[in-house]
Structure 1
Amino acid sequence: MIINPFTPNPALQPYILAYGYVEINEQIDSNNPIHIFPVDYTVMCFSLDEKKLIRELNTTNTFKNPLSYVGFLDRLRSFDSFTRKVVQVYFKPFGAYKLLGIPQHHFTNSATDMEALFPALKLTICQMRDEMKSPQKVISILESWLLQRLFLSEKICTARVEYACDLIKAYAGNIHIAELCREVAMSPTTLRDHFKEKIGFGPKTFGRIVRFSQLRRLLCENACLKWTDLADRFEFFDQTHFIKEFKHFYGCTPSQLHKMGQLNFTGKLTDSLDL
């Protein structure tokens, strides 16, 4: 798997982490699926492999849209057919709401056709198709559209949710909701509503995603870590609670995660792009 990062325009950096060009050379099928885990960012994808069908393992879910947006996930997704070449935009947790202006709860655990949301994108998509041999040119065209969206979304404010997300990350997802409410001067109901609109999930679920994103990275960097050490470090009640939560997000135990190897798509992205 080849992953090349690109830096966003400075005006977009408050909302976009990075762009990436991803080329997958490994064999993908039902015996060797590609795995995508919950992470603390969302993604827009433009396929440079027009004829390739994206199909989710053990389901009838298929995707053929050239430009799609994927909101937050709270569980493992595996695919037995996947595009071989793709340009991706990695949004900060609140970034897609700022630039798209659409409540994010509509996009959780799903991929949405961007042209259906923004019919005027058809011309931009045609321009990107004309340049599919050059990922950098595709990114430049897509970035021009994102800069237009930034201008149109000038009045959308995400500052307090951004601050709340920073606090959740600083506490590795373990900050109490009452403390978070005090810090951002919101009631629990108002905070939950803001998160569902601007992030997609409530703050508690987002905290769990952050917690396991940090835990997964630590586990992948230190294969010899004991489960008990991870459970203590990330403040789980006990090892049973830790394993139950881990399986909910990743569909496997920590030791089994390493066996996913080269087709651990999320792991490759975070390692290559430092997301």
Structure 2
Amino acid sequence: MSQIDGHLTISSGTLPDGGSWQTARALRYRGYRLDLRRGRRRLEVPTDVVTLVVGLSEPLRLTDAIDHRAALRAASPVGGLRRTATVAEHQGRLEGVSLSLRPADAHRLFGPVLGELEHNWADLPDLLGRPARQLIERTAEQSDWAERFRLLDAFLAPRLDQGPQWADEVSWAWAELRRTGGTVPVRDLVQGTGWSRRRLETRFREAVGLAPKQAGQVIRLQRALRCHQDGTTRSWAETAAVCGFYDQAHLTNTFRATMGCSPAQFFDHRAAAEPAAEPSDRVPDRVTSAVLPQAS
């Protein structure tokens, strides 16, 4: 049995209107096959991982949740770390594989172009060219999830082994942001790296795709979402205090500026979604998504 076979979990379900879904998870991969009777709009939360999609069906339409002028249609989108949420739309039939990469691994895969994406998306073939197009074609030829994941492993492994590495200072600064839940002051990162503030922000942005302060905000918001989801905190005021916000108003205002809605509205969307309709979170141990009402 291969490593992927040993971790493979497949789930499926049907909806009252006759639609169906299937997901397959193994290690870093999440396969999905949707045959829904109507389209879906999903609000995708900024996270501390880079999401890559190998799309095997119709393109997704991606729109910035705050700046609606920023949009892309892509079957295999790559999203770097973002400051604001994304609205992802499809017409109901969708198939593909998504994988989540630590930013350091994404840098090994894509190189400096990841930093150039800064708060944007791109189509995978536009970043990696012909090898990516061939990968998508070969993956589409397979119907078995484990085989699809093995193809992706074979594609990724040499690139992750041989790709460029972060500077030690960037790795340390990122680790401090993660360790502190995004609350470490930038001045402490400056002192710890021995770089000037300008050099730190430039090198960090080139490697990660966001400046340290912006990355910290993403990490704090994710922590706040998890605390509420898990019941670790009993109120939004307590969540704000635990997760490094000045007060509840600061958390709510930051959330609105990032997501286009309040924290309560976001969790209302999650609660209102049909229980069997397209399982919500794409990354383990993260609160990543909510199904939105269809636009009128």
TM-score range, shorter chain: 0.7 to 0.9
Equivalent residue pairs, number: 256
1:1-275 maps to which residues of 2 (within 5 A)? 3-7=23-27, 18-24=28-34, 29=39, 33-48=41-56, 50=57, 52-56=58-62, 61-65=71-75, 67-81=76-90, 84-121=94-131, 122-131=133-142, 133-153=143-163, 156-222=165-231, 225-261=234-270, 262=273, 268-270=281-283, 273-274=284-285
Q: Residues 66-111 of structure 1, C-alpha deviation per residue, up to 9 Å, x if partnerless?
A: x331111211212332662221121112221122212323223332
* RCO higher in structure (CA 8 A, sep ≥6): 1
Shift of 1:265: 8.2
- Structure 2 residue identity aligned to 1:36: E
Between the two proteins, what is the percent identity of the paired residues? 17
For 2:141 and 2:208, locate their aligned partners in 1 and report how far apart those are by CA, in whole Å: 33
For 1:239 and 1:60, locate their aligned partners in 2 and report how far apart those are by CA, in whole Å: 29
Shift of 1:28: 5.4
For 1:257 and 1:184, locate their aligned partners in 2 and report how far apart those are by CA, in whole Å: 37
Q: In structure 2, do the counterparts of structure 1 residues 59 and 178 end up closer, same or farther at CA, with 3 Å as the change threshold?
A: closer
Q: Which structure has the highest strand share of the two? A: 2
* Paired residues of 1:104 and 1:196 also in contact (CA < 8 A): no
Q: Gapped runs of 5+ residues in structure 2?
A: 1-20, 287-296
Q: TM-score, normalised by structure 1?
A: 0.81
Q: In structure 2, do the counterparts of structure 1 residues 190 and 145 end up closer, same or farther at CA, with 3 Å as the change threshold?
A: same
- Structure 2 residue identity aligned to 1:130: E
Shift of 1:151: 4.2
Q: TM-score, normalised by structure 2?
A: 0.76
Shift of 1:136: 2.1
Q: Residues 239-263 of structure 1, C-alpha deviation per residue, up to 9 Å, x if partnerless?
A: 3222110111222112112111248
- Structure 1 residue identity aligned to 2:234: L
- Structure 2 residue identity aligned to 1:221: D
